[in-house]
Amino acid sequence: MDKTEAFFARNEIKMFLILFFILFCGFLVRYHVIGYGIGSGGNFYYSQLVSIVIDGDINLKNQFEQLPFYEKLGSPLFYDKVSQPFLNTPDYINPETSIGPAILWLPFFVVAHLLVLFFNFFGAGLLTNGFSWIHQVLTMAGSILYATLGLYLCYKFASKFYPRKLVFLGVLAITFGFSVVQYVMIEPSISHAATLFTVALFLYYFYEHRQDNSWKKWTLLGFLSGLMMLSRWQEGFFLLVPLIYFLKDFFNRKFYLKDKIALLGKGALFLLIMLFTFFPQMIIWKIFNGGFFSLPNIAQNIMDFTHPWIRLPYFLFSFHHSLFVSTPIIFVAIWGAYFFYKKDKLFTTSLLLTLFVIIYVNSSLVEMGGNAFGVRRMVDSTFIFILFLSSLLTATYSLRRQKWLFYGLLTLIVGLVGFNLLYFLEYNLNLINRAQSIPYSLITEKSKLIFVRLLKFF
């Protein structure tokens, strides 16, 4: 182990604590300027948590009447998408989003609520409805912490194959060159910070135990699968990875009949544990939608599975929230799959197949990203992108006689990260129309206004 690798090995925890601190400070700056930390889809995710703990129910009506952004409609960074319908809420509001983030945030929220009650005992006068600044900041700190743990798991996994220094570079590049920076630093109140953690944990654990067919392995994997789907039920597509390995083992000629029967039993246990873990979401679907597997109406309204392949090129290569054009670092990272394939053919194949299915399903979206920053629904695949980018960086770094390839790639990555941060600033300063296509020329043109807009906040 050379000195650089030894340094990263000794200080990796410190580096990710610093990364957490940077992301959290970014959130605090946003909170200070705009005046609240819960918004957008977080109105649903966070309100479920407040309703369960404070009210003991899952009717979000009174939470939506107290949403903090109503008091900040005139703040300089407020983005008015659809706020008025919430001001006249019906008697009962259906929680349209997954319950998993609320479950993950629960310990942080409970601590925050106890702190609020403690300070109020001494006359602090803080809100006890779950929307005080302590509630929001501490709970969202938990959300950012989960995302940072997810990034750390991505780092630890890729470091099994590649140099730590290059893997950490890949982590930073995907964090700040992709949609991760927006949905961890600025909007941690929606599900993507949680899914970054749960998907990374699921894939990391599975790979570590991929050759283990013990009952314990399938039990824990069932729990992690349910937790992953609780965070966002679409993450169930990542079950394709263990399914491929399961089928490989089941049809292995070296397996005797008794081994196959035992494997089927373990598969059944896996499904049972997964459904048991996922059961809170099924209960909510049953209450509000009439069936244990009945998705909310909003999911049916924004998806069209009749001709998704028609929108697939648009989803990948347009200037309107596309994966490869809006966040081009992903187009670079994906080429690393070729080099990782040489290390593990089956795992690479299973990851690529899963990624294709996720892309294909997301191309069925009627609204194609809405007002999102980049392609927010692909943040769940951060594990894959970091792994492949680390693979590509290592492949070029190892070409001793052609070092210019590595430095050329490094320059390209730095440029793409810088460009994404430029887009990130313009997006959050409302210098661009989030709902429309955003060509590169518009980002370049609006860059001159960033400094002027920032001066208003000092």
Which stretch of 97-101, 111-115, 295-299 has the lowest confidence by average pLDDT? Answer: 295-299
Q: How confident is the model at residue 255 (pLDDT cuts 50, 70, 90)?
A: confident
Look up tokens 């654990």; give the residue.
205
- What integer is the mean pLDDT of 248-272? 87
Best-predicted range by mean pLDDT (198-212, 244-258, 292-306): 198-212
| Backbone region of residue 56 per phi and psi (left: phi > 0; alpha: psi in -120 to 50; beta: other values) | left
Torsion angle in degrees (nearest 10) through CA of 250, 271, 363, 316: -60
Let me know the angle formed at the C-alpha of 217 by 212 and 222, rounded to the nearest 5 degrees. 135
* pLDDT at site 280: 92
Higher pLDDT, 373 or 293: 373
Distinct helix (H) and strand (E) counts, the chain = 22, 0
* pLDDT at site 152: 98
d(CA 431, CA 440): 14
Task: Enumerate residues 6+ apart whose C-beta is below 8 A from 451.
Answer: none
DSSP characters over 53-72: IIISS---HHHHTS-GGGGG
pLDDT > 90 fraction of the chain, expressed in percent and rounded: 60
**DSSP, res 183:** I
Model confidence pLDDT, tens digit, residues 402-444: 888 999 999 999 999 999 999 999 998 888 888 788 889 899 9
Model confidence pLDDT, tens digit, residues 287-344: 887 787 777 766 555 666 666 666 788 888 888 888 999 999 999 999 999 999 999 9
| Contact (CB, 8 A) for 303 and 366 | yes
d(CA 370, CA 145): 27
- What integer is the mean pLDDT of 161-187? 96
- What integer is the mean pLDDT of 66-75? 69
Instruction: Decide if pLDDT at 206 tops 60.
Output: yes
Q: How confident is the model at residue 83 (pLDDT cuts 50, 70, 90)?
A: very low
Q: How confident is the model at residue 69 (pLDDT cuts 50, 70, 90)?
A: confident
Instruction: Decide if pLDDT at 43 tops 90.
Output: no
Instruction: Decide if pLDDT at 141 tops 90.
Output: yes
* pLDDT at site 338: 96
- What integer is the mean pLDDT of 87-97? 66
- What integer is the mean pLDDT of 224-236? 94
What three-state secondary structure class fits 303?
A: strand
d(CA 153, CA 159): 10
pLDDT > 70 fraction of the chain, expressed in percent and rounded: 90
Instruction: Decide if pLDDT at 192 tops 60.
Output: yes
| Contact (CB, 8 A) for 263 and 383 | no
Residue 365 has φ and ψ, to the nearest 5°, of: -65, 130
Instruction: Residue 128: give the domain boundaries.
Output: 3-455
d(CA 189, CA 48): 12
* pLDDT at site 367: 66
Model confidence pLDDT, tens digit, residues 357-372: 999 888 877 666 678 8
The 3-state secondary structure of 120-168, one letter per residue? HHCCCCCCCCCCCHHHHHHHHHHHHHHHHHHHHHHHHHHCCCCCHHHHH
Tokens of residue 205, six digits: 């654990």
CA distances from 411 to 230, 280, 327, 337, 419 (A): 39, 47, 16, 20, 12
| Contact (CB, 8 A) for 30 and 72 | no
Q: How confident is the model at residue 84 (pLDDT cuts 50, 70, 90)?
A: very low
* pLDDT at site 61: 82
DSSP characters over 327-388: STHHHHHGGGHHHHHTT-HHHHHHHHHHHHHHHHHHTTBSSTTTT-SS-GGGGGGHHHHHHH
Torsion angle in degrees (nearest 10) through CA of 398, 400, 404, 410: 30
> Domains in the chain: how many in total?
1
* pLDDT at site 388: 98
Residue 321 burial (CB count, 10 A): 28
d(CA 303, CA 228): 21
* pLDDT at site 304: 64
Q: How far is CA 408 from the centre of its chain?
A: 29
Task: Enumerate residues 6+ apart whose C-beta is below 8 A from 328.
Answer: 416, 419
Instruction: Decide if pLDDT at 22 tops 80.
Output: yes
* pLDDT at site 5: 87
pTM: 0.93
Torsion angle in degrees (nearest 10) through CA of 56, 60, 63, 68: 140
Higher pLDDT, 43 or 180: 180
* pLDDT at site 125: 92
Which stretch of 52-56, 98-102, 144-148, 298-302 has the lowest confidence by average pLDDT? Answer: 298-302
Identify any residues that bridge with 303 across adjacent strands, giving them in sequence order. 365
Instruction: Decide if pLDDT at 74 tops 70.
Output: no
AA letter at 392: L
| Contact (CB, 8 A) for 267 and 246 | yes
Task: Enumerate residues 6+ apart whose C-beta is below 8 A from 327.
Answer: 177, 178, 179, 374, 375, 420
CA distances from 444 to 104, 238, 425, 439 (A): 39, 37, 12, 9
